[in-house]
């Protein structure tokens, strides 16, 4: 990697200032280290943001829960209050990487992590996402890639937390310049839908401070399917939230991960679910609607039946 | 004729690994832990092209990097036609990893890119680029034929056909290839991560044109090799030359990326098989066409087995009318070499798969079909014992008849291997204070060779294994062979027996103590006076033999909605003659099963046909089985002490993938005939993935 400086920030504005034009924020550092070792990122300065006040706290609330960006994935996984209130979130956290990684990985880092596409990560390949002119995955090895894409790059979002938080209607609070702005989860990823070089909508210098989840009486669940039993990326992940009364679901939201550059949802499917009895027919029709615009490439069509299975299983968990 | 003692205390017991404390505390020094005074890091520059003519390599800028002490070309001129992504071009040594990395990036390479081909299917095309200019990519088929195959097929009551493929598998020992080498006026000292200290010494002396007496190789602890660490390797030669140029010791350990590209792999296979039998299930006719790739060639490190594509067929069975046609296909990818039971896991997978297809056609229990046709008596016994332990009768159901979306299934498969060894020499040193040193120029790949030596010596002297100081991994010790082909236990144990038995006799003769063993030991040793007793021994006929079977039963659960396969249980029955160290043998058996699960479900080298690079040179997307993927593993050894010692490191991994594949087919009622059996392929076999090719 290239030489870099290291500094610790004590305030969000100070962090932004320290970071300058060519810096990066450092929290867990898992992916950052890999990107630097591969010379994909070459920051001049790493600004440690783990000491920023309040960033490492999970704060329950009657109206809104606040989860600091430096809270570790392991803390999410083990939090009794979250398990009770927003089970999708600790379920999504528990599926991330390995125990060792979860102990240092953070909420902010998971949400803002970069593509895992094996062309993007290959040191001697200059793909579209790295500023080249070809998405090699489109005509190459694409078994791990997207079924939905708004641009030529078909690298999917792999943040487990983004999928759960989208279903939970969470909002990210982001330090941009000297202001704090709020971005819904769809807004946090929208740019990756349109722009092949984007991993998310964050601009240089943007710093996720926390996510806010509105208190709700909906249940939630997260399920993922990988090739291996543990320490593996999702082939498909699914989060759902909804209120189930008398076997009928309302205020439903179904979100998919690893099949699109953004946490993918279908308004038609969510609308369809309103008031429906939660049964096999309903989940199958919801899956049809979610998959309406799916486009399989040469090697990833198998994700479609997995999407169907996971939508069914996740929605059924809401019944419990 | 020598014979193993009737009363065995530690031999065959669960005696602890003698080096376990050193390993868990970190006191054990592996090659990457060695830090001779003034040592430097070494690193290799690799081709970023799949194929190119390298016309010039300029090291000047690299040499100017702060901390860089040496930079060398692989070839004197710097000119070379590279034939795969990752081929070695040059190397640097420096005071830090970063200095080396900076130096690698500063090296200027002038190259003309050439057309390449990295996949078997592409390489078979008429218009494909040639890997070797003067030869077609497909080799001339080798045909072996006996009997009257076509006529026999027409006489068969049942004939089945299938197409089975296996991937290129990477060895990925957890300790990567590498050496720490110090070259001074006095000679060369090399700490090697190797399966053969003597072959490394020979390689070093030859490469550097030094007398072998000036080269000493150590390998006291090493983290496995699986067949890929027999020779010096390109990386070893480069480390030695860097040390000479830098006039300092150089430690050159490959990165995981390097490890994926250029130090060997198991060749792929594509097996078209036809099998015919009589109505009562007697095998009558067999035909195979097999091709696959060993990359640019077979590689040099083939001791312990072939690194070629060819597989033994019809594997463990004897079919009177047999035709096998096999050829290899060159592609621009790293060369194959020996890999734990070379050619057997794919042979087992293809043959045992078609056997199960035949059982379906004949409406027979697949175990019955095997018992009817297996010519090896020991394996017959193993099948019967295993079936009982596994509960085959209760668990076996007709293919596809398991209810519900998550279906369970069972399957079985078998292995054969040699496992004999010979030629080891050793010496036992009995000190006047009663302490014992046993020296042998073998190496312990992590399999437990030190423990094997300790328990043999302990039983002969009537001592505990902890009282034996085992010293191995040094070319100044009496020589032993390379550790491959499951030969080590059978080669080393008799030599230890011989040295220790003779030492005991000599001790008793010199001291007049009639039986110096056990509680008389210290008294006898004290009578030696000042000088220790050193006795040489060597491998003796009659204490080891060769030729094992081995069977495995697998139970799986397959999620037919998602294609996810979970191995629930493996029962393994393995003969290995006299089991010397039961604990480490069980450990080997577990490791064989876990490696077999990786081969069955996860592992596959992925090459990109557009760019020629490997896409998964890491543990993120080259997926190895982890502990959470490991099932309940039931290990049963068929102990046959009368046969003497036979190695078991390889047979225990041979049938795992075949048994799992058969269990998956039994669960689904359709077969996934390509390894690895991924969710993608399960769903495709079920007809649920209509879009992907």
Over residues B110-164, the pLDDT tens digits come to 999 999 999 999 999 999 999 998 889 999 999 999 999 999 999 999 999 999 9
Residue B681: Cβ within 10 Å count = 20
Phi-psi region of B77 (alpha: psi -120 to 50; beta: other; left: phi over 0): alpha
Cβ <8 Å between B628 and A122: no
With pLDDT > 70 as the criterion, what percentage of chain A qualifies? 100
The DSSP code for B406 is E
A-chain CB neighbours of B626 within 8 Å are: 228-231
Cα of B420 to nearest chain A Cα, Å: 36
In this complex, the residue of A134, A139, A235 whose CB is nearest that of residue B679 is A235
Domain extent, residue B62, equals: 34-114+177-253
Give the pLDDT score at B305: 42
Name the residue among B103, B355, B89, B337 with its Cα closest to residue B227: B337
Please indicate, yes or no, whether residues B58 and B181 belong to a single structural domain of this protein.
yes
From A89's Cα to the closest Cα of chain B, the distance in A is 22
* A306·B566 Cβ contact <8 A: no
At B569-581, the pLDDT tens digits run: 999 999 999 999 9
Closest-CA residue of chain B to A137: B608
Helix (H) or strand (E) holding B181: strand B178-184
Residue B240 and residue B340 in one domain: no
Mean pLDDT score, A211-229? 97
CB contact under 8 A, B562 and A136: no
Torsion (CA) A115, A116, A121, A122 in degrees, nearest 10:
-130
Q: Which residues pair with B573 in a beta bridge?
A: B551, B636
Can you give the pLDDT at residue B257? 98
Are B653 and B341 contacting, i.e. CB atoms less than 8 angstroms apart? yes
- CB contact under 8 Å between B623 and A230, yes or no, is no
Give me the interface pTM, i.e. the ipTM.
Answer: 0.97
Cα B275 to Cα A157, B285, B412, distances in angstroms? 47, 6, 18
Instruction: Name residues whose C-beta falls within 8 Å of residue B198's C-beta, 6 or more positions apart in sequence.
Output: B217, B441, B475, B479, B480, B481, B482
B689 in helix, strand or coil? coil
Residues on chain B touching A296 (C-beta within 8 angstroms): 691-692
The tally of domains found in chain B comes to 3
Residue of B57, B93, B62, B99 lying closest to B75 (CA atoms): B57
Establish, for the pair of chains A and B, how many residue pairs have beta carbons separated by less than 8 Å: 103
Residue B66 shares a structural domain with residue B195: yes
Of A303, A142, A116, the C-alpha closest to B680 is: A303
Let me know if the fold of A58-113+155-214 is the same as that of A219-317: no
Q: What is the pLDDT of residues A50-98, one digit of tens each?
A: 999 999 999 999 999 999 999 999 999 999 999 999 999 999 999 999 9
- Residue pair B109/B78 in contact (Cβ under 8 Å)? The answer is no
Q: Å from B102 to nearest chain A CA?
A: 8
Same domain? For B206 and B332 the reply is: no
Chain B residue whose CA is closest to A309: B561
In a domain, B295, yes or no: yes
Q: Which residues of A touch B601 (CB under 8 A)?
A: 227
Q: For residue B527, is it within any domain?
A: yes
A interface test, pick of B101, B562, B563, B601 with most A CB neighbours within 10 Å: B562
Q: Per residue, what are the HEC states of chain A?
A: CCCCEEEECCCHHHHHHHHCCCEEEECCCHHHHHHHHCCCCCCCEEEECCCCCCCCCEECCCCEEEEECCCEHHHHHHCHHHHHHCCHHHHHHHCCCCHHHHHHCEHHHHHHCCCCCCCCCCCCCCCHHHCCCCCHHHHCCCCCCCCCCCCCCCCCCCCHHHHHHHHCCCEEEEEECCEEEEEEHHHHHHHHHHCCCCCCCCCCCCEEEEEEEECCCCEEEEEEECCCCCCCCCCEEEEEEEEEECCEEEEEEEEEECCCCCCECCHHHHHHHCCCECCHHHHHHHHHHHCCCCCCCCCCCCHHHHHHHHHHHHHHHCCC
Q: Same structural domain for residues B198 and B329?
A: no
Q: What is the DSSP letter of B307?
A: -
| Residue pair A75/A38 in contact by the 8 Å Cβ criterion | no
Instruction: Evaluate whether residue B288 is within a structural domain.
Output: yes
| Residue B232 distance to chain A (closest CA, Å) | 28
For residues B482 and B199, the answer to whether their CB atoms sit within 8 Å is yes
B100 and B39 Cβ atoms separated by less than 8 Å: no
Q: Compute the Cα dihedral for A176, A179, A184, A190 and give only its sign.
A: negative
Q: What are phi and psi of A46, to 5 degrees?
A: -105, 125
Domain final position from B253, B282, B304: B253
A288-304 residues labelled b (16+ CB within 10 A) or e (exposed): ebbbeebebbbbbbbbb
Cβ contacts (< 8 Å) between A158 and chain B: which residues? none
Which candidate from B601, B621, B680 shows the least CB-CB separation from A302?
B680
**Are the Cβ atoms of A141 and B679 closer than 8 angstroms?**
no
Residue B514: DSSP 8-state: S
* CA distance to partner chain A, nearest, from residue B27 (Å): 24
Residues B300 and B435 in one domain: no
Q: What angle do CA B265, B267, B269 make, to 5 degrees?
A: 155
The reply to whether B238 falls in a domain is yes
> Based on the domain organization, do B24 and B40 belong to the same domain?
no
| Helix ranges, B410-530 (H) | 449-461, 488-511, 521-526
- Superfamily name with CATH number, domain A219-317: CO dehydrogenase flavoprotein, C-terminal domain (3.30.390.50)
**DSSP class of residue B641?**
G
Annotate B15-74 with DSSP letters as a single string: PPPTTHHHHHHT-S--GGG---TT-EEEEEEE-SSSSEEEEEEE-HHHHHSTTEEEEEES
CATH code that applies to domain A58-113+155-214: 3.30.465.10
The residues of B whose Cβ lies within 8 A of any Cβ of A are 48, 85, 98, 101, 257, 559, 561-564, 566, 601-602, 606, 608-611, 613, 615-616, 620-621, 623, 625-626, 628-629, 678-680, 683-684, 688-693
- Digit-coded pLDDT (tens) for A232-272: 999 999 999 999 999 999 999 999 999 999 999 999 999 99
Q: Give B296's DSSP letter.
A: T
Q: Where are the domains of chain A?
A: 58-113+155-214, 219-317
Identify the closest residue of chain A to B626 by CA–CA distance.
A230
Residues B215 and B81 in one domain: yes
CB A40 within 8 A of CB A20: no
- B91 CB neighbour count, 10 Å cutoff: 30
Does the global pTM surpass 0.90? Answer: yes
* Same domain as B431, residue B529: yes
Q: What is the pLDDT of residue B41?
A: 98
Helix (H/G/I), strand (E/B), else coil: B690? coil
Query: Which residues lie below 8 Å from residue B688, measured CB to CB, with a gap of 6+?
Result: A302, A305, B563
- Can you list the residues of chain B whose pLDDT is less than 70? 298-307, 690-693
Partner-chain contact B610 A225, CB within 8 Å? no
Report how far residue B414's alpha carbon sits from residue B473's, in angstroms, rounded to the nearest whole number: 34
- B chain contacts of residue A258, beta-carbon cutoff 8 Å: none
- Whether residue B126 is contained in a domain is answered as no
- What kind and span of H or E run contains B199? helix B197-208
Q: What angle do CA A55, A61, A63 make, to 5 degrees?
A: 120
Residues B234, B183, single domain; the answer is: yes
B522 lies in a domain?
Answer: yes
For residues B355 and B292, membership in a common domain is answered with: yes
Whether residues B25 and B45 share a domain: the answer is no
CATH of the domain at B56: 3.30.365.10
Helices B582-601 and B656-668: angle between axes, nearest 10 degrees:
50
Q: Considering B506, B521, B538, which residue would you say is the last residue of a domain?
A: B538
Residues of B in contact with A229 (CB under 8 A): 566, 626, 628-629
């Amino acid at each position: 990697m290239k030489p870099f400086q290291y500094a610790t920030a004590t305030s969000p504005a100070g962090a932004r200032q320290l970071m300058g034009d060519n810096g990066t924020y450092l929290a867990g550092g898992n992916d950052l280290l890999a990107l630097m070792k591969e010379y994909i990122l070459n920051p001049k300065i790493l600004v440690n943001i783990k000491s920023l006040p309040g960033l490492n706290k999970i704060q329950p609330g009657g109206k809104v829960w606040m989860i600091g960006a430096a809270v570790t994935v392991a803390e999410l996984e083990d939090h009794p209050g979250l398990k009770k209130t927003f089970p999708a979130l600790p379920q999504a956290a528990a599926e991330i990487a390995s125990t060792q990684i979860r102990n240092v990985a953070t909420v902010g880092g998971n949400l803002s992590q970069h593509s895992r596409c094996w062309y993007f990560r290959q040191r001697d390949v200059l793909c579209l996402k790295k500023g080249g002119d070809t998405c090699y995955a489109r005509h190459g090895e694409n078994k791990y890639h997207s079924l939905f894409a708004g641009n030529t790059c078909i690298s999917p979002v792999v943040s487990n937390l983004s999928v759960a938080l989208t279903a939970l209607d969470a909002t990210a609070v982001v330090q941009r310049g000297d202001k704090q702005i709020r971005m819904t989860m769809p807004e946090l990823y929208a740019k990756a839908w349109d722009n092949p070089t984007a991993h998310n909508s964050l601009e240089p210098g943007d710093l996720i401070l926390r996510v806010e989840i509105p208190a709700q009486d909906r249940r939630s669940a997260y399920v993922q399917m990988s090739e291996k039993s543990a320490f593996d990326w999702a082939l498909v992940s699914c989060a759902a939230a909804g209120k189930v009364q008398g076997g009928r679901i309302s205020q439903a939201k179904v979100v998919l991960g690893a099949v699109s550059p953004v946490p993918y949802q279908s308004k038609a499917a969510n609308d369809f679910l309103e008031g429906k009895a939660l049964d096999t027919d309903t989940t199958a029709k919801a899956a049809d609607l979610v998959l309406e615009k799916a486009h399989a490439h040469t090697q990833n069509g198998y994700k479609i039946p997995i999407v169907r299975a996971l939508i069914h299983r996740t929605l059924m968990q809401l019944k419990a | 004729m020598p014979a193993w003692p009737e009363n065995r205390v530690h031999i065959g017991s669960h005696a602890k690994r003698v080096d376990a404390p050193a390993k868990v505390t970190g006191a054990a020094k592996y090659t990457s832990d060695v830090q001779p005074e003034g040592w430097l890091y070494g690193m290799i520059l690799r081709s970023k092209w799949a194929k190119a003519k390298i016309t010039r390599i300029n090291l000047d800028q690299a040499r100017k990097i702060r901390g860089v002490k040496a930079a060398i070309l692989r070839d004197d001129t710097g000119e070379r036609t590279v034939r795969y992504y990752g081929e070695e071009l040059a190397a640097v040594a420096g005071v830090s990893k970063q200095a080396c990395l900076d130096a690698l990036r500063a090296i200027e390479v002038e190259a003309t890119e050439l057309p390449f081909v990295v996949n078997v299917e592409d390489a078979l095309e008429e218009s494909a680029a040639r890997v070797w200019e003067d030869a077609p990519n497909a080799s001339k088929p080798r045909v072996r034929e006996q009997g009257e195959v076509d006529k026999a097929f027409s006489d068969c009551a049942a004939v089945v056909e299938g197409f089975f493929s296996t991937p290129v598998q990477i060895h990925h020992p957890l300790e990567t290839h590498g050496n720490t080498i110090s070259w001074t006026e006095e000679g060369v000292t090399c700490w090697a991560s190797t399966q053969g200290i003597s072959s490394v010494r020979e390689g070093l002396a030859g490469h550097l044109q030094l007398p072998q007496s000036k080269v000493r190789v150590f390998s006291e602890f090493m983290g496995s090799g699986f067949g890929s660490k027999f020779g010096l390797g390109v990386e070893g030669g480069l480390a030695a030359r860097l040390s000479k140029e830098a006039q300092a010791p150089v430690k050159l350990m490959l990165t995981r990326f390097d490890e994926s590209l250029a130090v060997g792999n198991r060749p792929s296979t594509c097996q078209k098989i036809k099998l015919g039998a009589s109505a009562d299930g007697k095998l009558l006719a067999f035909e195979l066409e097999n091709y696959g790739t060993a990359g640019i060639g077979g590689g040099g490190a083939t001791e312990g087995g072939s690194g070629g594509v060819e597989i033994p067929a019809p594997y463990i069975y004897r079919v009177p009318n047999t035709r096998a046609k096999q050829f290899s296909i060159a592609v621009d990818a790293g060369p194959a070499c020996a890999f734990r039971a070379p050619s057997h896991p794919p042979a087992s997978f293809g043959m045992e798969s078609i056997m199960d297809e035949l059982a379906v056609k004949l409406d027979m229990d697949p175990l019955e079909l095997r018992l009817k046709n297996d010519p090896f008596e020991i394996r017959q016994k193993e099948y019967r014992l295993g079936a009982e332990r596994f509960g085959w009768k209760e668990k076996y159901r007709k293919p596809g008849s398991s209810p519900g979306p998550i279906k369970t299934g069972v399957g079985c498969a078998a292995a054969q291997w040699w496992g004999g060894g010979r030629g080891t020499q050793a010496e036992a040193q009995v000190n006047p204070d009663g302490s014992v040193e046993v020296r042998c120029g073998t190496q312990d790949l992590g399999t437990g060779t030190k423990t094997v030596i300790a328990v043999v010596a302990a039983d002969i002297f009537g001592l505990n294994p902890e009282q034996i100081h085992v010293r191995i991994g040094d070319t100044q010790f009496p020589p032993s062979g390379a550790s491959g082909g499951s030969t080590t236990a059978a080669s080393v144990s008799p030599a230890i027996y011989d040295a220790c038995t003779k030492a005991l006799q000599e001790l008793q003769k010199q001291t007049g103590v009639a039986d110096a063993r056990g509680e008389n030991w210290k008294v006898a040793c004290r009578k030696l006076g000042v000088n220790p007793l050193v006795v040489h021994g060597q491998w003796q006929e009659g204490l080891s033999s060769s030729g094992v079977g081995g069977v495995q039963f697998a139970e799986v659960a397959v999620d037919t909605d998602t294609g996810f396969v979970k191995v629930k249980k493996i029962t393994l029955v393995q003969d290995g003659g006299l089991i010397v160290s039961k604990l480490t043998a069980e450990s080997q058996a577990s490791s064989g099963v876990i490696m077999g699960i990786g081969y069955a479900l996860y592992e596959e080298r992925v090459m990109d046909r557009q760019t020629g690079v490997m896409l998964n040179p890491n543990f993120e997307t080259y997926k190895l089985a982890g502990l959470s993927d490991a099932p309940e593993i039931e290990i049963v050894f068929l102990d046959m002490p009368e046969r003497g010692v036979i190695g078991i490191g390889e047979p225990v991994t041979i049938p795992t993938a075949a048994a799992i594949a058969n269990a998956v087919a039994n669960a689904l009622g359709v077969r996934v005939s390509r390894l690895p059996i991924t969710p993608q392929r399960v769903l495709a076999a079920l007809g649920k993935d209509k879009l992907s090719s």
